[in-house]
């Protein structure tokens, strides 16, 4: 795959270890949910490096000093339903004040085209740092449609976090949204004829919520 300047693929033994368990078809729903959250939290340390901060004065037991804190109401998480919901707590653990907007999107099983069925976003999202969450980036159709909508309503600082991505999905996002920052925990080989990621982990929504 081509090198894209705004794409970061993690290469970390802790993530590799957790992804191996996530992929295993015998991993149950509870552990699957916990792993998605844990991987999101590990990724968040890097993703949140550029959050807006401000200077504040803090008094220690010894003296006053200037410190930084994250600007409140400056971050919006936007999970793509359903599977993106599984990533929200992974960031809320670190940043409980992040607002959450929801975009409901599913892939039509025949055409593989994304269909939007729900959208509710925080007021003023266009002024926030927006972090779109979806564990699976396959063709890239769902994420690209969600990001295009956010761009259309004026969001300028958009990041996408995915746990597993196929090269074709990364290329689509990077070429259609050159200003976006994309963080992927693991880059997989390819898509199968049904546009599932190989080796992948199956259907993330079904494994998170036990629907199949
Ligand atoms: C999955 C996944 C992504 C999308 C990725 O959602 O959570 O949103 O597929 O595929 P794409 O990159 O080819 O668009 P799905 O449509 O299965 O809906 P669900 O999360 O409700 O199960
Ligand atoms: N959506 C999933 O949940 N898994 C895939 O492999 C592709 C799309």
Q: Is the CB of 173 under 6 A from ligand 1?
A: no
Residue nearest to atom 3 of ligand 2 (CA): 203
Give the C-alpha distances (Å, rounded to integers) separating 183 from 32, 46, 92: 20, 9, 18
**Taking the domains of the chain in order of start, what are their residue ranges?**
7-209
pLDDT, tens digit (0-9, with 9 covering 90-100), for 81-90: 999 999 999 9
Residue 200's pLDDT is: 98
Distance CA 100, CA 192 (A): 33
In the predicted model, is pLDDT for residue 73 greater than 90?
A: no
Cα–ligand 1 centroid distance for 65 (angstroms)? 47
In the predicted model, is pLDDT for residue 1 greater than 80?
A: no
Residue 40's pLDDT is: 98
When pLDDT is cut at 50, 70 and 90, the band that residue 108 belongs to is confident
Burial classification of residue 202, based on how many CB atoms lie within 10 Å of its CB (0-12 exposed, 13-18 middle, 19 or more buried): middle
Residue nearest to atom 18 of ligand 1 (CA): 106
Q: For 7-209, give the CATH class.
A: alpha beta
111 is catalytic: yes
């Amino acid at each position: 795959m081509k090198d894209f300047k705004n794409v970061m693929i993690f290469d970390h033994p802790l993530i590799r270890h957790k992804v191996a368990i996530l992929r295993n078809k015998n991993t149950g729903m509870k552990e699957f949910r916990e792993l998605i959250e844990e991987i999101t939290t590990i990724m968040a340390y890097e993703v949140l490096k550029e959050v807006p901060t401000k200077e504040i004065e803090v008094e220690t037991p010894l003296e006053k000093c200037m410190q930084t804190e994250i600007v409140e109401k400056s971050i919006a998480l936007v999970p793509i339903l359903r599977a993106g919901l599984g990533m929200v707590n992974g960031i809320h653990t670190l940043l409980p004040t992040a607002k959450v907007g929801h975009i409901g999107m599913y892939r039509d099983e025949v055409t593989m085209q994304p269909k939007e069925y729900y959208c509710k976003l925080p007021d003023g999202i266009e002024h926030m740092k927006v972090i779109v969450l979806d564990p699976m980036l396959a063709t890239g159709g769902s994420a690209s449609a969600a990001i295009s909508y956010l761009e259309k309503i004026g969001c300028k600082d958009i990041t996408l976090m995915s746990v597993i991505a196929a090269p074709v999905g990364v290329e689509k996002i990077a070429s259609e949204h050159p200003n976006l920052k994309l963080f992927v925990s693991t880059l997989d080989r390819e898509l199968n004829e049904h546009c599932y990621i190989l080796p992948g982990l199956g259907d993330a929504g079904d494994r998170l919520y036990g629907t199949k």
